[in-house]
Amino acid sequence: MRGIYIGRFQPYHLGHQAVLEEIAREVDEIVIVIGSAQESHGPENPFTSGERMEMIYAALGKGELRKRCIVTTLQDINRNSLWVSHLQSMVPCFDLVYSNNPLVIRLFSEAGVMVKKPPLYQRDVYSGSAIRALMREGGDWEKLVPPAVAGFIQEINGVERLCQVSKSDSASSADSAMHSSKETDF
Protein backbone atom coordinates (compact mmCIF):
# COMPACT_ATOMS: atom_id res chain seq x y z
CA MET A 1 0.00 0.00 0.00
CA ARG A 2 1.36 3.42 -0.98
CA GLY A 3 0.18 6.76 0.41
CA ILE A 4 1.03 10.31 -0.59
CA TYR A 5 1.64 13.25 1.69
CA ILE A 6 1.63 16.63 0.01
CA GLY A 7 2.76 19.93 1.50
CA ARG A 8 4.69 23.10 0.85
CA PHE A 9 6.99 22.33 3.80
CA GLN A 10 8.05 25.98 4.26
CA PRO A 11 9.84 24.82 6.35
CA TYR A 12 9.52 21.07 7.15
CA HIS A 13 8.65 20.97 10.87
CA LEU A 14 7.95 18.55 13.72
CA GLY A 15 4.19 18.56 12.94
CA HIS A 16 4.99 17.27 9.42
CA GLN A 17 7.37 14.71 10.93
CA ALA A 18 4.72 13.47 13.40
CA VAL A 19 2.25 13.08 10.51
CA LEU A 20 4.82 11.19 8.49
CA GLU A 21 5.51 8.78 11.35
CA GLU A 22 1.76 8.22 11.72
CA ILE A 23 1.40 7.51 7.97
CA ALA A 24 4.34 5.09 8.15
CA ARG A 25 2.37 2.99 10.65
CA GLU A 26 -0.42 2.56 8.07
CA VAL A 27 1.22 2.16 4.65
CA ASP A 28 4.30 0.42 3.23
CA GLU A 29 5.54 3.33 1.12
CA ILE A 30 5.04 7.09 1.28
CA VAL A 31 5.41 9.52 -1.60
CA ILE A 32 6.22 12.92 -0.09
CA VAL A 33 5.21 15.55 -2.65
CA ILE A 34 6.76 18.99 -2.26
CA GLY A 35 4.04 21.27 -3.63
CA SER A 36 4.38 24.80 -5.02
CA ALA A 37 7.79 23.69 -6.27
CA GLN A 38 8.16 26.83 -8.40
CA GLU A 39 7.97 29.09 -5.33
CA SER A 40 10.95 30.42 -3.39
CA HIS A 41 12.45 33.63 -2.02
CA GLY A 42 9.10 35.00 -0.81
CA PRO A 43 7.72 35.67 2.68
CA GLU A 44 5.31 32.72 2.51
CA ASN A 45 7.65 30.49 0.52
CA PRO A 46 11.25 31.33 1.40
CA PHE A 47 12.85 28.00 0.44
CA THR A 48 13.40 26.44 -2.98
CA SER A 49 11.99 22.99 -3.72
CA GLY A 50 15.56 21.64 -3.70
CA GLU A 51 16.19 23.10 -0.25
CA ARG A 52 12.91 21.67 1.02
CA MET A 53 13.94 18.29 -0.37
CA GLU A 54 17.24 18.52 1.51
CA MET A 55 15.36 19.38 4.71
CA ILE A 56 13.15 16.31 4.34
CA TYR A 57 16.06 13.97 3.57
CA ALA A 58 17.99 15.40 6.53
CA ALA A 59 15.01 14.83 8.84
CA LEU A 60 14.46 11.29 7.54
CA GLY A 61 18.03 10.30 8.34
CA LYS A 62 19.32 6.97 7.10
CA GLY A 63 17.02 4.54 8.90
CA GLU A 64 14.01 2.41 8.00
CA LEU A 65 11.67 5.39 7.40
CA ARG A 66 14.01 6.84 4.76
CA LYS A 67 13.94 3.55 2.80
CA ARG A 68 10.15 3.68 2.62
CA CYS A 69 9.87 7.29 1.39
CA ILE A 70 10.04 8.71 -2.13
CA VAL A 71 10.46 12.50 -2.17
CA THR A 72 9.40 14.39 -5.28
CA THR A 73 8.34 17.91 -6.31
CA LEU A 74 5.28 19.35 -8.05
CA GLN A 75 4.63 22.79 -9.48
CA ASP A 76 1.22 24.45 -9.01
CA ILE A 77 -1.17 24.92 -11.91
CA ASN A 78 -3.72 27.71 -12.09
CA ARG A 79 -6.73 25.40 -12.53
CA ASN A 80 -7.74 23.63 -9.32
CA SER A 81 -10.19 21.40 -11.21
CA LEU A 82 -7.29 19.83 -13.12
CA TRP A 83 -4.79 19.66 -10.28
CA VAL A 84 -5.43 16.03 -9.22
CA SER A 85 -4.86 14.79 -12.81
CA HIS A 86 -1.76 16.99 -13.03
CA LEU A 87 -0.43 15.42 -9.81
CA GLN A 88 -1.32 11.89 -10.94
CA SER A 89 0.59 12.44 -14.17
CA MET A 90 3.73 13.53 -12.32
CA VAL A 91 4.09 11.26 -9.27
CA PRO A 92 4.28 7.48 -8.76
CA CYS A 93 0.93 5.64 -8.42
CA PHE A 94 -0.64 5.74 -4.98
CA ASP A 95 -3.61 4.22 -3.14
CA LEU A 96 -4.57 7.04 -0.79
CA VAL A 97 -3.77 10.62 0.22
CA TYR A 98 -3.03 12.05 3.66
CA SER A 99 -3.93 15.71 4.14
CA ASN A 100 -5.52 18.19 6.52
CA ASN A 101 -5.64 20.94 3.88
CA PRO A 102 -9.35 21.57 3.06
CA LEU A 103 -8.73 22.36 -0.64
CA VAL A 104 -6.54 19.29 -1.12
CA ILE A 105 -9.14 17.10 0.63
CA ARG A 106 -11.92 18.55 -1.53
CA LEU A 107 -10.10 18.09 -4.83
CA PHE A 108 -9.05 14.48 -4.15
CA SER A 109 -12.48 13.54 -2.78
CA GLU A 110 -14.21 14.91 -5.90
CA ALA A 111 -11.77 12.87 -8.00
CA GLY A 112 -12.77 9.71 -6.10
CA VAL A 113 -9.40 9.27 -4.36
CA MET A 114 -9.43 8.05 -0.75
CA VAL A 115 -8.28 10.77 1.67
CA LYS A 116 -7.30 10.32 5.31
CA LYS A 117 -6.91 13.19 7.75
CA PRO A 118 -3.98 12.59 10.10
CA PRO A 119 -4.30 13.83 13.71
CA LEU A 120 -3.27 17.45 14.27
CA TYR A 121 -0.15 18.00 16.36
CA GLN A 122 -0.46 21.37 18.17
CA ARG A 123 -1.32 22.99 14.84
CA ASP A 124 -1.04 26.53 16.32
CA VAL A 125 2.57 25.86 17.38
CA TYR A 126 3.73 23.47 14.66
CA SER A 127 2.76 25.49 11.61
CA GLY A 128 4.86 26.93 8.81
CA SER A 129 3.44 30.44 9.23
CA ALA A 130 4.05 30.47 13.01
CA ILE A 131 7.62 29.24 12.49
CA ARG A 132 8.31 31.84 9.77
CA ALA A 133 6.95 34.54 12.11
CA LEU A 134 9.33 33.38 14.87
CA MET A 135 12.22 33.42 12.39
CA ARG A 136 11.40 37.02 11.43
CA GLU A 137 11.06 38.11 15.07
CA GLY A 138 14.26 36.46 16.27
CA GLY A 139 12.21 33.92 18.28
CA ASP A 140 13.00 30.35 19.26
CA TRP A 141 12.02 28.54 16.03
CA GLU A 142 14.74 25.87 16.12
CA LYS A 143 12.92 23.69 18.64
CA LEU A 144 9.89 23.42 16.31
CA VAL A 145 11.80 21.70 13.48
CA PRO A 146 13.89 18.51 13.47
CA PRO A 147 17.49 19.34 14.59
CA ALA A 148 18.88 18.43 11.16
CA VAL A 149 16.45 20.89 9.52
CA ALA A 150 17.48 23.67 11.92
CA GLY A 151 21.13 22.97 11.03
CA PHE A 152 20.40 23.06 7.31
CA ILE A 153 18.46 26.35 7.52
CA GLN A 154 21.35 27.91 9.45
CA GLU A 155 23.83 26.59 6.86
CA ILE A 156 21.99 28.31 3.98
CA ASN A 157 21.37 31.52 5.98
CA GLY A 158 17.66 30.86 5.62
CA VAL A 159 16.53 33.23 8.37
CA GLU A 160 18.48 36.11 6.87
CA ARG A 161 16.90 35.39 3.48
CA LEU A 162 13.39 35.26 4.94
CA CYS A 163 13.91 38.55 6.80
CA GLN A 164 15.26 40.24 3.67
CA VAL A 165 12.50 39.07 1.31
CA SER A 166 9.85 40.01 3.89
CA LYS A 167 10.89 43.67 3.86
CA SER A 168 9.34 46.29 1.61
CA ASP A 169 11.59 48.71 -0.26
CA SER A 170 10.05 51.67 1.60
CA ALA A 171 10.84 50.10 5.00
CA SER A 172 14.44 49.43 4.03
CA SER A 173 15.21 52.69 2.15
CA ALA A 174 17.44 54.09 4.91
CA ASP A 175 19.20 50.76 5.09
CA SER A 176 19.70 50.44 1.33
CA ALA A 177 21.03 54.02 1.10
CA MET A 178 23.70 53.09 3.62
CA HIS A 179 24.66 49.98 1.67
CA SER A 180 24.11 51.27 -1.87
CA SER A 181 27.78 51.04 -2.76
CA LYS A 182 27.82 47.30 -1.96
CA GLU A 183 24.36 46.03 -2.97
CA THR A 184 22.15 46.18 -6.05
CA ASP A 185 18.35 46.34 -5.61
CA PHE A 186 16.31 44.23 -8.04
- Contact status: 121 vs ligand NAD (CB under 6 A): yes
Cβ proximity to ligand NAD: between 41 and 179 the closer is 41
In angstroms, the CA 186 to CA 180 distance is: 12
Asked if 45 interacts with ligand NAD (CB under 6 A), we say no
Distance between CA atoms of 106 and 131, rounded to whole angstroms? 26
User: In 3D, which of 65, 26, 43, 67 has the Cα closest to residue 129?
Assistant: 43
**What's at 3, amino acid-wise?**
G
120 binding ligand NAD? (CB under 6 A) = yes
Q: C-beta of 169: minimal distance to ligand NAD in Å?
A: 27
Candidates 26, 61, 66, 103; binder of ligand NAD (CB under 6 A) is: 103
According to the binding rule CB under 6 A, does residue 128 interact with ligand NAD?
Answer: yes
* H/E element, 107: helix 102-110
User: Residue 144 in 3-state DSSP?
Assistant: helix
Pair 74, 90: CB distance under 8 Å: yes
116 phi and psi angles, rounded to 5 deg:
-115, 140
Q: By CB under 6 A, which span of 103-111, 138-146, 151-159, 161-169 interacts with ligand NAD?
A: 103-111
Residue 11 touching ligand NAD (CB under 6 A): no
Q: Does 15 bind ligand NAD (CB under 6 A)?
A: yes
Q: Which positions lie near ligand NAD, rule CB under 6 A?
A: 6-9, 15-16, 19, 35-36, 76-77, 80, 83, 99-101, 103-104, 107, 118, 120-123, 126-128
